[in-house]
Amino acid sequence: MPVPLKNLQQMALYLGVVSGGGCALMYYYMQKTFAKKEYYLSALEKLNSHSEALEILGAPPLKVYNLRLTDKNNHVDQSTAQIKIPVSGTLSAGHLYTTSVRDRVNNRWSLQEVILQLNNGLRIPIHESNVADGDEKETL
């Protein structure tokens, strides 16, 4: 028994909407999962404790936006995490570039570098780890 073309079109439309909505929901939950990670939260803590950067942004209120998961600057693997967090205040906006490394002994993330780059091109160093310098001094 042949199925009418109208029923097939309705089923295709329904399945397209359901699968598209499911993909959008999965993308949203992945963004929220990143926002709960230690490397993400510690970078925002460093920004919130840097009064000069907050003043230039015009914060408070500081707005933090969702990560773009398709951005090539966002990369996380077993030992390193490099992310680009969009932020804005009332005066300016930009991105918080962070690099973190996982300590295998304690299984904790430690920030290596946090830089705020504003949309006008101004770069403000927020945090730079001195761990590498300390290692060099010990080997000399």
Is domain 38-139 annotated with CATH 3.30.559.10? no
3-class state of residue 115 by DSSP: strand
Q: Which two tokens stand for residue 106?
A: 């304690």
Residue tagged 């309705």 (tokens): 10
Domains in the chain: boundaries: 1-34, 38-139
Q: Which two tokens stand for residue 50?
A: 């840097």
Provide the whole-model pTM: 0.77
pLDDT digits (tens, 9 = 90+) for 30-74: 989 888 999 999 999 999 898 888 888 887 888 999 888 888 888
* Residue at 72: amino acid letter: K
